[in-house]
Structure 1
Amino acid sequence: MATLHRFFLPDTPLEPGQPVDLTPIAHQLSRVLRARPGTRIVLLDGRGQEFLTEVRRLDPGEARGQILEVGPAAGEPRRPVILYQCTLKADKFEWILQKGVELGVTRFVPVIARRSVVRPAAAVLKKYPRWQRIIQEAAEQSGRGCLPELAAPLSWEEAVRTGEGLRLLPWEDATGHPGLLATLQRSGQAPPPAISLLVGPEGGLTPEEVALARSAGWQVISLGTRILRAETAALAAVAVIQAHGGELGG
């Protein structure tokens, strides 16, 4: 199924051996993919199941198919990885969403810090329709079986009071603090049920913000001696977390 085009249809009833309404994706099938009756695709219910489906009827405004097989999607990570990302310039934040989905992030939480580029929550929320599309397209392309969640934006003060499992805060001034890999290895005897990662904005975090996070239980970690851009830090940290957890091929 991995080589077939994949589509999330979480609001469409999907039952093995039953016909299915493909009208929500009729335009994509007929005009974008140039599909035809007999083309096979994979439908996703957004809850971890994938359905091998054959297109039976196809017009630009209407389509029907037949579900042939059902099975679990193989692209979901074994444990949740939640990325609390301070808002960045639009293209950089969208890059993090797309690549974060590919790496297996299960939830994105936009955070508004003191030096965030996009500050008012209302301005952030205006971007959500586009961000949701980016997440869905990346999930379909990368073989995910569930749609990663895009949570409501939080202030820094709200964000540090949340988080699940092992809560990690990469900081460019983390001299004397353990590195990410060492921190993950220390937790190896009792792997955390989830990992939360809190990454600052392009202008960095203030010492006061870091102190507030530490007082709330977040662990400050180092990502090495080089200064990484915010988008690099986020994706590099997620990749290390997933590699340590065996999510990148063992």
Structure 2
Amino acid sequence: MSLPRFIAKVEDNIAYLEDEELHHAIKVKRLKEGDLLEINDLQGNIYKAKIIEINKKYAKLEIIEKIQQEEEKLKTTLYLAVPYQLSKIDEIIDNISQLGVYKFVPVITKNCAIKEQDVIKKLEKWKKIAIQSIKQCKRVYPVVIEKPIKLDKIIDNYQLKIVFYEKEREKSLHDIEMNKDITDIAVVIGNEGGFTEEEINLLLKKGFQKLKLCNNILRMETAIIVGICQINFKFGG
């Protein structure tokens, strides 16, 4: 049986659940003294622990053992053109966390109606969503959330660089040569307004390859899931 996982700091084989983690453990999961659970210290360590004390301020845990984890070899960075509704990113963060995306970077494009400062205001919320989502999908590290950038500031030092583009009708990820040594991938996905030809040309100059996802034009949210799943299937094995 899988044990529930929580976020906590660990010192000298003792951990404490506080605030939201305490509420979730005691009020939602109905855990009690003597129950076992897992702890993620957000430092790359997962532990099996036992509750030894509960009070109104915290639950005290005794570390039983460290659980070995497999290293996530594939590191995919998602550059996403900011959608017209910032609230859409809340669910996107949870989805890409489950799919193993390493880093998320919001991108300001010509068809973006949101101001950069409004995106910055959401960063802390998205970081919290990223941390909470790793408890359910049992990742070791949360998705790295970076500050918004403009399209021309996208870096190009990746082993593989992809832009999924709705006007590309021929080349797909299937046509990319299989290479298991590729572990560092950048993928760019547009918002509801798509990219301009000028923006696509800018990405091509940076070494990005424009690819299609399928024969249909997908919604942004669907394109993200399909695109990341295709990358995981091809390079994450």
When the two structures are superposed, what TM-score results if normalisation uses the length of structure 1? Answer: 0.87
Match of 1:80 in 2: 75
Root-mean-square deviation (CA), in Å? Answer: 1.9
1:174 alignment partner, one of 168, 171, 176:
168
1:1-250 map, 5 Å: 3-9=2-8, 12-15=9-12, 18-24=13-19, 25-74=21-70, 77-88=72-83, 89-118=85-114, 120-159=115-154, 161-162=155-156, 164-176=158-170, 178-183=171-176, 186-188=177-179, 191-247=181-237
User: Do the aligned partners of 2:97 and 2:130 also contact (CA within 8 Å) in 1?
Assistant: yes
CA distance in 1 between partners of 2:55 and 2:29 (Å): 13
Asked whether the 8 Å contact 2:33–2:51 carries over to 1, the reply is: yes
Asked whether the 8 Å contact 1:117–1:201 carries over to 2, the reply is no
Please give the secondary structure, in 1, of the residue aligned with 2:3.
coil
Which AA in structure 1 matches 2:10?
A: P
Structure 1 position 162, deviation (Å):
4.1
Tell me by how many angstroms 1:125 deviates.
1.2
Contact 1:163–1:196 (CA under 8 A) maintained in structure 2: no
Task: Answer yes or no: is the 8 Å Cα contact 2:168–2:210 preserved in 1.
Answer: yes
How far residue 4 of structure 1 moved from its aligned partner, in angstroms, is 1.4
Q: Deviations over 1:65-92 (max 9, x none)?
A: 1000102235x63210111111122343
The separation in 2 between residues aligned to 1:146 and 1:135, in whole angstroms, is: 9
TM-score normalised per structure 2: 0.91
Q: Compute the displacement of 1:117 (Å).
A: 3.7
Q: What percent identity do the matched residue pairs reach? A: 24
The verdict on how the C-alpha distance between 1:170 and 1:237 changes in structure 2, with shifts beyond 3 A counting, is: same
**Shift in Å, 1:226:** 0.7
Stretches of 4+ aligned residues off by more than 3 angstroms: none
Aligned length: 235
Counterpart contact for 2:86–2:119, Cα < 8 Å: no
**Structure 1 residue 193: Cα displacement:** 2.7
Please give the secondary structure, in 1, of the residue aligned with 2:10: coil
Aligned AA for 1:94? D
CA drift of 1:222 comes to 1.3
| Shift in Å, 1:129 | 2.2
